[in-house]
A and B are shown apart, each in its own frame.
Chain A
Amino acid sequence: MTDTTALAADLETAVRAVPGVSALYPTAPLLATIVGAVVDAITTRTVSPALVSVSNGHAGLSVSTRIGVTDTQSAVSVSRLVYDTIAANPAIRAAEPIDTISVTVASID
């Protein structure tokens, strides 16, 4: 049994450190009418919903993250780099089987 909360926090730190990642967005679908900032820019870390979600399903572990990318780097390569970073995490490698690792680029700027 994997401690998903600790793993999520661990992965969040790793994803933020990937060059070209400018922001992390909440992975849960959000209502457009929520009042209160939910964007967590790298510079202003505040309490926020899970920015990397980790869940255990019958097919294995699923990881999901939504990122913002700076336009000086290719969004395609940054997303692959983020994937590689998550896949290379020791906890992920130890937590076979892996179902999916999702990386969604939600903004480029």
Chain B
Amino acid sequence: MTPPNIPDPASDWYLSDNEPGHLDGHTLEELSDYLDRGRVPADLLIDTSPACQIALASLERLRFAMSSLLQDEADRADVRDDSWVTAIMDGIVRDARSGRDIPLEHPSAHARLFVTEGAVRGLVRAAGDTVANLIVGRCRLDGELTTPGAPITIAINASIYRGKSIPALAEQLRQAVAAALSAHTELTIKAIDVTIQNIYLTRHDSENEQDTP
């Protein structure tokens, strides 16, 4: 460690080990903490000190450089082969989220037929994915799923692209889901509630479809 310098306004502040002498009584750590707090509550002494402002700008540059550094390293490594993704995905059990078993009727006393809640959720997602300009998020099956004939409400979160009609897309989604459920399950659907939780600003892929007015 170098011994503390005598304050010298002519020298660059960052070369000095006497920070308060160069930063109007503040330390670099204090300024860093101030930045971490989002400069809230505002500190008038820091905000009006040119020396502090220069140091804060420098700290922000460093922070930005740090985040770019990691991103650069990630981008550089990204071009390599895909085996790491495969390794991860292989470790995931496909039907790990099967949820409740929903009974299906059968005349035989020996028969125990079920469709899993997870399979029904997958079905709802797949049906929702066929509706253009919309993407399904969470899907919940509310009701006594394990009791045959019990009324079930399907609650679906979805995001849509900006400029698309919310009611029209919600209705399309309801119809697609209702059709899929009646084709594959014996559920008594009381309602399909659609919540539009997010509106996409832009769509990144082909813009060949016309926006709904």
Contact = CB atoms under 8 A, between A and B. Distances in A.
B119 interface: yes
B126 interface: yes
Contacts of A100: 110-112
- With most chain B CB atoms within 10 A of its CB, the pick from A38, A74, A98 is A38
Q: Specify the main secondary structure of chain A where it touches its partner.
A: mixed
B61 interface: no
Interface string A74-109: 111001100100010000000000111111111111
Contacts of B101: 104
B91 interface: yes
B106 interface: yes
Contact of A103 (B93, B94, B113, B118): B113
A76 B120 CA distance: 12
Contact count band on A: 20 to 34
B7 interface: no
Contacts of A104: 101, 113-116
B98 A106 contact: yes
A30 interface: yes
Nearest to B102: A105
B90 interface: yes
Given A76-B104, A76-B185, A108 B123 contact: yes
Interface in B106-147: 106, 108, 110-116, 118-120, 122-123, 126
A76 B113 CA distance: 9
Interface of B: 90-96, 98, 101, 104, 106, 108, 110-116, 118-120, 122-123, 126, 180, 183-186
12 contacts: A25-B94, A30-B96, A34-B93, A38-B94, A39-B94, A71-B184, A74-B183, A75-B115, A76-B184, A105-B115, A108-B119, A108-B126
